[in-house]
Chains A and B, each alone.
Chain A
Amino acid sequence: MSPLLELLAVTRTELLRTVRNARVLILLLLFATSTALVGLILGLLTRGLDQQGPEAAAAFGAGILGWMVGDDGGAFQRLSELPLLVPLVFRLTLFFLPLFIALLGYDQLSAELSTGSVRYLAVRSRRGSILGGKFVAQALVMGVLLGVVLVGLFAAGAGLRSDLKPLPYLEALVRFWVGGTTFAFAYLALTSLASAVTSSPGTSLLLNVGALFVFWLADAIGGRAALVQSMGGPASWTEGLRWLSPSAYASGLLGSSPALLTSALAYAVFGAVFLGAGWAVFRTRDV
């Protein structure tokens, strides 16, 4: 059997496993519900601002968009044509999505490794196919889920503004989905790496969450150094730290086309590195 067919066979089996797993279904439901809840709260807030008058709402919206896209004028203009709720909920979703992904897949390999029962090995499947198949299955589920959540979000946003142009609105939906999925795939790859290099689900989750914290910390330290320098302070080597963290590229997903492309590319590279490292360890380790 060719590696591709083998990967597809594992993917198919893992897809069935994922959609029939009660824990996974509950997590997916939790993700959708929490996104809806964030949307509801922010929707109420922005509605409250609207009632204070268009100037107050515009000022608040400009402040929020400025926080999200910085000095990317093109992105600012494009996002301001959307209901504020849509980019805001999307940006907040990106914040907790990595943790959700860790909870979704931390035991994909580690659970079977802990009991010495990786069934695919009994039929001598390629280890790359096992790792890859599990990753692709979760990526497909995540891609569909993000699509569903974004469609819901954009539908809710459409109810808030009557002056939306359908085609640009649809284009924004596609851009958000592309950005969101590349972001999710990179973190799914990190989860695969953690699960492939550890021998128990608990250690895998700990490693995954630990890595998320380190990435967040690197981004925060680097971001602070950049802010200090932009305000006329001294340059610091710590500024470069943020570019080693996937968290640093999240805001680019809302940016103009070059920024989106750069961020998507960065997440693709992070994903490839994480998955490649997972494969390098898993193919030679004792199972």
Chain B
Amino acid sequence: MDAALVLEGVSKRYGATLALDRVSFQVRTGSCHGLVGPNGAGKTTCFGLAAGFLRPTSGSLRVLGKEPHDRGALRPRIGVLPQDAALPSYLDVGTLMTTWARLSGEARPEAGARIALERVQLSQAWDASPRSLSHGVAKRVALAQALLGEPALLLLDEPTAGLDPRAAAEVRSLLGGLRGQRTVIISSHNLSELERLCDAVTVLDRGKVVQDGSIAEITRRGAEFSVQVARGDVPVPELRALAGVAEVDLSPSGRVSVRLAADAPPAEDVIAAVLEVLLAHGVRITSLLQGSSLEQRVLDVTAGDARQSG
């Protein structure tokens, strides 16, 4: 795999606290990759290591084939959106962006700054004071900063946190547009957003990788589906007897989970057969979900933890 980010046995210790414990995963070049997990799982530490803000206690880390601290080689190639979106208030947005563009190595700093602001639809904020910006707009300015210099790798820590739904949708649309053009790594608690944006995710819990793979693999889209029923008696034995069905579970809330056998016919054929049986028995169906949501998967693999996965 052509990898933009490779972590091999990376551990990071803060005093007595082991934030990352021999973490290994890779991010494919050109993909959108999510870092998820409960608070304290190690997402921000992974992010900081990739951005070169932190140094690993042990293990090795390669960003675009280089050491993250190899600033000379990586500076024009990495864009970073830190979690804290607070902008310095002593300069107007245009001057701030031009300064950042200059420091990012843009040949024409002001032009580069204007283009980056246009991309986040904030051209009109050029003369504004950061003090007058709402949290959402400030976040988009910070995102524009991350886009300066057309970086090959974008590291985005909670890119839509604190944004109103419309602004969040605009940022998602912008990130969706970057798909395939550059590698994007997003650390976020918004799992439905990551499910929509990302090709793959790494789930961290208490400093360890507990799941790593493509969205399809993790949500098991091709391997299971569930049907939510409103009323009616679910004929579980009859469903279990259908070709291609390996297991059927009925939850107290009326969710019928169906796991497909390894040698099952195409999933859509099994789904059709299951629905046919349910309808024939007068069962009323409210929804069907192929695989599990990423949120459900993350909750499953980080289960037993009292912490919130928000």
- Interface, chain A (partner B; CB < 8 A): 1, 6, 9-10, 12-13, 16-17, 20-21, 115-117, 119-126, 284, 286-287
Contacts and interface: CB of A to CB of B under 8 A. Distances in A.
Nearest to B103: A123
Contact of A124 (B84, B87, B104): B104
Interface stretch (B72-80, B272-280, B283-291): B72-80
24 contacts: A1-B102, A1-B103, A6-B103, A9-B99, A9-B103, A13-B91, A16-B90, A16-B91, A17-B90, A115-B84, A115-B86, A116-B82, A116-B83, A117-B84, A121-B52, A122-B100, A122-B145, A123-B80, A123-B103, A124-B78, A124-B80, A126-B71, A284-B55, A286-B53
A126 B70 CA distance: 11
A206 to B, nearest CB: 20
B74 A124 contact: yes
Contacts of A115: 84, 86
Contacts of A123: 75, 80, 100, 103-104, 145, 148
Given A126-B71, A286-B48, A116 B99 contact: no
Interface of B: 48, 51-55, 71, 74-75, 78, 80-84, 86-88, 90-91, 99-100, 102-105, 142, 145-146, 148
B238 to A, nearest CB: 57
Contact of A122 (B82, B90, B102): B82
Nearest to B109: A9
A258 B127 CA distance: 53
A286 B14 CA distance: 10
Given A16-B91, A20-B90, A121 B84 contact: no
Given A1-B102, A1-B105, A286-B54, A122 B48 contact: no
Contacts of A287: 53-54
Nearest to B53: A287
Given A10-B103, A122-B142, A123-B100, 7 more contacts: A1-B102, A1-B105, A115-B86, A116-B53, A121-B80, A122-B100, A126-B71
For the residues of A in contact with B, the DSSP-based class is loop
A205 B287 CA distance: 61
- Which 8 A-B residue pairs are closest in the complex by CB-CB distance? A124-B75, A117-B84, A20-B90, A17-B90, A123-B103, A286-B54, A122-B80, A123-B104
Contacts of A9: 99, 102-103
A12 B84 CA distance: 23
Contacts of B75: 123-124
Nearest to A124: B75
A122 B47 CA distance: 12
Nearest to A10: B103
B42 to A, nearest CB: 14
B54 A125 contact: no
Most chain B beta-carbon contacts within 10 A, residue among A6, A116, A124, A286: A124
A6 B106 CA distance: 12
Contacts of B100: 119, 122-123
Contacts of B145: 122-123
Contacts of A119: 87-88, 100
A122 B81 contact: yes
Contact of B99 (A13, A21, A126, A284): A13
Most chain A beta-carbon contacts within 10 A, residue among B48, B74, B81, B82: B82
A17 B89 CA distance: 8
A13 B53 CA distance: 22
A17 B105 CA distance: 22
Contacts of A1: 102-103, 105
Given A9-B99, A115-B86, A124 B55 contact: no
B107 to A, nearest CB: 10
B103 A125 contact: yes
B84 A116 contact: yes
Contacts of B80: 121-124
Contacts of B142: 122
Contacts of B53: 116, 121, 286-287
Contacts of B102: 1, 9
A5 to B, nearest CB: 8
Contacts of B104: 123-124
Nearest to A8: B102
A12 B90 CA distance: 12
A55 B287 CA distance: 105
A119 B48 CA distance: 14
Most chain B beta-carbon contacts within 10 A, residue among A6, A10, A13, A16: A13
B67 to A, nearest CB: 13
B227 to A, nearest CB: 45
Most chain B beta-carbon contacts within 10 A, residue among A116, A123, A284: A123
Contacts of B52: 121, 124
Contacts of A20: 90
A120 to B, nearest CB: 7
B120 to A, nearest CB: 15
A10 B102 CA distance: 10
Contacts of A117: 82, 84, 86
Nearest to B45: A286
Nearest to B105: A1
